[in-house]
Amino acid sequence: MENPEIKKTCLHERHTALGAKMAPFAGFDMPIEYEGLDAEHQAVRNSVGVFDVSHMGEIIVEGPDAERFVNHIFTNDVSAIPAGHILYGMMTYADGGTVDDLLVYKVADDCYLLVINAANIDKDVEWIVDAADGYDVAITDLCEAYGELAVQGPDAERILSEVTGVDLSLMGFYTFELFDGEDASLPVVISRTGYTGEDGFEIYDTNERIVELWDALMESGVKPCGLGCRDTLRFEAGLPLYGDELTAEISPMESGLGMFVKLDKPEGFIGSEALKAQKAEGVRKKVVGLEIDSPATARHGFEVLNAEGEKIGEITTGYRSLTLGRNLAMALIDAKYAALDTPVQVRIRKKLAPARVVKKRFYTTRYKKN
């Protein structure tokens, strides 16, 4: 199991000391669960939990052309928001396939923080640097310098305000603040964001200080949560995971993320022509929700069939929902079958289970929108 290539986050020793079950994820040895997935999932839904997400990547883009450049590589429109606000969106290839999904923090008109998926760091950095040819921007990779925690759940605001001494009650959804850190070039970032469908915050700081914050949160009784429940939580909220619901072969339109794609930006963006065509002609395949009538769970890659038994797609993620008690999945299927309530079938090993198309936001999210 010892792989010299595998990376560790700044909290690795904390995880092993807590007895976490560890596994490789995106090149990092990450905690999958501590006490157990179910308890951790429920803690985030009902009180508060903390995730080590230090494996995520942070990239700074700054310079006179920063706004034009970010808009050139990003599907959403950063000119539409003031400094201190955050947009979710994707980077796409010229053919409309997805490079990655990411958050863009607008620090100033000429400075942006891009938060990217751990599994895509090398690919994304190369993509961003290549695309920057001809733009007057500086690109700084802070992936190793920054650690990150996600504090999520209805009690996140209260607990994190207590622990940090910062009143977070006025911070709006998808906004952030910068605070002086130990290193002037690495300010502390606190944002009201997350990946669980609950209210919550994400904190970026130097690795040493992320460990201190983790320890303080542990002392306050916040439950440590692993990547296992991070996946079940985001799944219930209908949020995509790159590699499952977004890939180089799945465009944002096909994944149902058109609201994060601004096709009317004056200068367009890489992939905008292809996505315009998809919008005009309609997509051929689409990510949908499925409710499955079976005690067995559908897993990534299982086949989806139409009522006649012909293959129409594949499962992208499947779980028996902990919060809802329903057997659910997301699947990429032929768009002909994407209408709500369409009957389909899922091949679960040797058996065929009946299923029907449902909305993929299975859980009603509880973000705090001021």
Partner 1 sequence: MIKYLPTHEYIRIEGNEGYIGITAYAAKELGVVTYVDMPEEGDELTAGEEFGAIESRKAASDLFSPVSGEVLAVNEALEEDPTLINADPMTNWIVKVSIADHSELDALMDEAAYEASIK
**What residue ranges bind partner 1 (CB under 8 A)?**
32-33, 36-38, 228, 232, 295-297, 299, 319-320, 322, 348-349, 351
Instruction: Between 38 and 249, name the residue whose CB sits nearer to partner 1.
Output: 38
Whole-angstrom CA distances from 232 to 204, 246, 289, 310, 336 are 23, 17, 14, 29, 28
| Least distance in angstroms from the C-beta of 145 to partner 1 | 32
| Least distance in angstroms from the C-beta of 318 to partner 1 | 10
| Least distance in angstroms from the C-beta of 363 to partner 1 | 16
Instruction: Between 276 and 299, name the residue whose CB sits nearer to partner 1.
Output: 299
Instruction: Between 351 and 359, name the residue whose CB sits nearer to partner 1.
Output: 351
Q: Please answer whether residues 22 and 29 qualify as being in contact, where contact means their C-beta atoms are separated by less than 8 angstroms.
A: yes
Backbone dihedral region for residue 329 (phi beyond 0: left; psi -120 to 50: alpha; all else: beta):
beta
Tally Cβ neighbours within 10 Å of residue 71. Answer: 22
| Least distance in angstroms from the C-beta of 350 to partner 1 | 8
- CA–CA separation, 144 vs 142, rounded Å? 6
| Least distance in angstroms from the C-beta of 41 to partner 1 | 9
Instruction: Between 123 and 320, name the residue whose CB sits nearer to partner 1.
Output: 320
Instruction: Between 176 and 235, name the residue whose CB sits nearer to partner 1.
Output: 235
Instruction: Between 270 and 348, name the residue whose CB sits nearer to partner 1.
Output: 348
- Please, which residues have CB within 8 angstroms of residue 334's CB and are 6 or more apart in sequence? 284, 285, 306, 312, 313
| Least distance in angstroms from the C-beta of 106 to partner 1 | 37
Q: Please answer whether residues 315 and 328 qualify as being in contact, where contact means their C-beta atoms are separated by less than 8 angstroms.
A: no
297 burial level (CB within 10 Å; 0-12, 13-18, 19+): middle
